[in-house]
A = this chain, B = another copy of it.
Amino acid sequence: MELDVTVLTEQLDTLWMLVAAVLVFFMQAGFAMVEAGFTRAKNASNIIMKNLMDFAIGSFLFFVVGYGMMYGKDIAGLIGGSQFIMPSDAPVAILFQTVFCATAATIVSGAMAERTKFVSYVIYSAVISAIIYPIAGHWLWGGGWLYQLGMIDFAGSTLVHSVGGWAALVGAAMLGPRIGKYKADGTPNAIPGHNITIGALGVFILWFGWFGFNPGSTLALDVSIGHIAMTTNLSAALGAITVMTISWVKYGKPDVSMTLNGALGGLVAITAGCASVSMWGAIAIGVIAGFVIVFGVEFVERKLKIDDPVGAISVHGLCGVAGTLSVGLFATAEVGELTGMGQINGLFYGGGFGQLAVQAIGVVSYMAWTLATAFILFKIIKSTIGLRVSKEEEIMGLDLGEHGTEGYADFVLKM
């Protein structure tokens, strides 16, 4: 038997990309469980349905138009302009990018949970999958202007997570808080999630899937996937430990759902730099993410007065920013060489402010793009078909209101 090295390489890369894509696909289940678990029982079916349709609609539209805008022939560094309808790249590459796109889209559903009209959500979801995310994606991963500038966002702390997080922020702000979330004097009420077990399962599933998300972003089989998986894991672990510790000190008891958020925050934050930082860099980034989560959740809830039932803005938006900037601090040439990210040192490794500045430009650009486009999108939806269900429906629950069903038909519920 003879060996064709090109074929072998292609096979191996396909295998690894497929395995990674499948792991990332499974994150959809993780998002569904986290978002359902952290909200109320009367809206569980609706959340499930939003997550399912996110992925289904996104899969279709990203294939038909999104992929082309993201990876098609570059036009002025801003948008791709080929590969529509029937993209010609390797199917496994399209699949891998599809599951990433769906991740960005689905982040929003948690922040807008328990009060958004289903039809409005479906429209939002279609637009972000087909247009907002792919264009953003082109700038960096499609070889656009941010790529040329040298921004490092390995697996998308900013591109995937912050984009989702900023869209979530706009959506949740425009919707307004759930009935009962704020007292007359503006102080928040707690609205506990209905199923912490299933929410925690969701977090474990997301963590599991992240081992495809980050290491898979090598886009080819490479020994550096080991390093990337380790930095990913350490940051998540430290995110959880940090939040547990802060909440314990600050509130008197270790908060379960926030600690779960902490693990996710650590994962989001390391996503940009997983291939650029050392293990101890990852540990530091996890700790930073932990602080961002606790103070971010409080800030969004108390200062911005935005009602984000699952903490999506803090987890994806703020930790995404923190992680992307951290690359400018913790990147080390030693790791960059190993993983092929190049000889880049961050501020703390003697590389000066250069990379940090580039990172900041990227962060701000994506924030501006997403806030602007999401604002226009949600504004149009709001002033046409409307964003929010009626007060009666919100009280009754969206499961019955939007879908005529109950999530837990056999159980006696308190409310």
Contact = CB atoms under 8 A, between A and B. Distances in A.
Interface in A1-42: 1-3, 5-12, 14-19, 21-23, 25-26, 28-29, 32-33, 36-37, 40-42
A355 interface: no
A contact patch SS: helix
A197 B36 contact: yes
A118 interface: yes
A17 B253 CA distance: 38
A405 interface: yes
Contacts of A413: 410-412
A230 interface: yes
Contacts of A193: 409
A238 B53 CA distance: 10
A287 B19 CA distance: 27
A5 B6 contact: no
A94 interface: yes
B22 A402 contact: no
A389 interface: no
A225 B18 CA distance: 8
Contact of A52 (B28, B32, B259): B259
A91 B201 contact: no
A263 interface: yes
B25 A56 contact: no
A353 B259 CA distance: 51
A280 B85 CA distance: 9
A63 to B, nearest CB: 7
Given A211-B25, A225-B92, A414-B412, A407 B14 contact: no
B18 A194 contact: no
A243 to B, nearest CB: 10
Interface in A397-415: 399, 402-415
Interface stretch (A135-143, A156-164, A202-210): A202-210
A410 B37 CA distance: 11
Contacts of A201: 29, 32-33, 198, 201
11 contacts: A12-B12, A18-B226, A22-B211, A26-B208, A45-B197, A63-B279, A93-B226, A98-B233, A192-B406, A252-B404, A412-B412
